[in-house]
């Protein structure tokens, strides 16, 4: 599955891009940008046949998940940053509109999304585990569930399968990070599980900004993107170069600048782990 952004071939349109998401055979929208970085982007739905036969592709990104949740489409991309967004169907001034928003721009509550009351498919009573540290747990009064309490490694509510935590409802994470996707696969947390378990979210965000500050303030994100790609490639210059579509020597030069700015060795295991955690914290905070 891929999300594809192409140039809108219609010169008269004020929406200069076409966005295609892999849902229902391929939904196509006209929009004004390639990502909702600073504000939600208006999207105009168009028929799928408006997608050109030979599009001028601006960006093509693999998709980890794309699913409808109420009046929204949750879109998760397979990349290190700018990877979570929603396409929201709502109303404005009495007419139906669609907006594309990211964790930084979307509201705390998704419009028109209501808690489902139907039974879980094939499950008479869904067992939900409540974290033993949750003082005022939600009772799920309108759902057919069985609640039990035990200590969870992350989140406030969890679902287990074969004694393995497979999903968690991160209410404290969502509130701290202004993240509203609702359910988070535990495997997505990675090192971030350590932060969640400690409950020191604000300190974690401060750590991330402090750890990356020297590089963040040094240039226009080129060095930071290179460092992120280097960490994602597990310290392999070749892998980072392929991800960035640059020469390996370019990666070596940029990582040398990172080393000079931070006075740290980016290839050392300790720095790799700290940088990975810092990038993941910023991804979840949408900053």
The per-residue pLDDT for range 114-143, each reduced to its tens digit, is 555 565 556 667 777 877 777 666 666 666
pLDDT > 70? residue 199: no
- What homologous superfamily is domain 201-285 in, according to CATH? PucR C-terminal helix-turn-helix domain (1.10.10.2840)
In whole angstroms, what is the distance from residue 184 CA to residue 169 CA?
Answer: 6
pLDDT > 60? residue 173: no
CA-wise closest residue to 176 among 201, 152, 156, 199: 201
- Residue 259 phi, psi dihedral angles, 5° rounding: -60, -40
pTM metric for this prediction: 0.41
pLDDT > 70? residue 207: yes
Domain locations in the chain? Answer: 2-101, 126-188, 201-285
Could you report the per-residue pLDDT of 39-88, keeping only the tens digit for each?
889 999 999 999 999 999 999 999 988 888 888 898 989 888 888 899 99
């Amino acid at each position: 599955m891929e999300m594809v952004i192409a140039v809108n071939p219609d010169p008269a349109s004020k929406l200069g891009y076409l966005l295609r998401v892999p849902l229902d055979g391929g939904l196509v929208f006209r929009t004004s940008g390639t990502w909702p970085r600073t504000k939600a982007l208006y999207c105009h739905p168009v028929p799928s046949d408006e997608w050109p036969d030979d599009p001028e592709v601006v960006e093509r990104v693999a998709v980890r998940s794309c699913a409808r949740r109420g009046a929204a489409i949750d879109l998760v991309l397979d990349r290190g940053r700018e990877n979570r967004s929603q396409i929201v169907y709502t109303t404005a001034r009495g007419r139906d509109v669609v907006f594309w928003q990211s964790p930084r721009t979307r509201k705390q509550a998704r419009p028109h999304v209501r808690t489902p009351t139907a039974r879980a498919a094939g499950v008479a009573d869904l067992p939900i585990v409540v974290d033993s540290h949750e003082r005022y747990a939600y009772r799920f009064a309108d759902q057919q569930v069985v609640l039990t309490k035990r200590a969870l490694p992350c989140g406030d509510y969890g679902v287990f399968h074969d004694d393995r935590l497979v999903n968690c409802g991160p209410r404290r994470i969502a509130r701290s990070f202004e993240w509203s996707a609702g359910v988070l696969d535990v495997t997505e947390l990675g090192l971030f599980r350590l932060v969640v378990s400690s409950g020191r979210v604000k300190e974690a965000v401060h750590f991330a900004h402090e750890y990356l500050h020297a590089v963040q303030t040094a240039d226009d994100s080129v060095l930071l993107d290179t460092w992120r790609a280097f960490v994602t490639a597990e310290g392999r210059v070749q892998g980072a170069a392929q991800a960035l579509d640059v020469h390996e020597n370019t990666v070596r030069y940029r990582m040398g600048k990172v080393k000079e700015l931070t006075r740290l060795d980016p290839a050392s295991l300790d720095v790799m782990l700290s940088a990975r955690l810092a990038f993941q914290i910023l991804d979840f905070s949408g900053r």
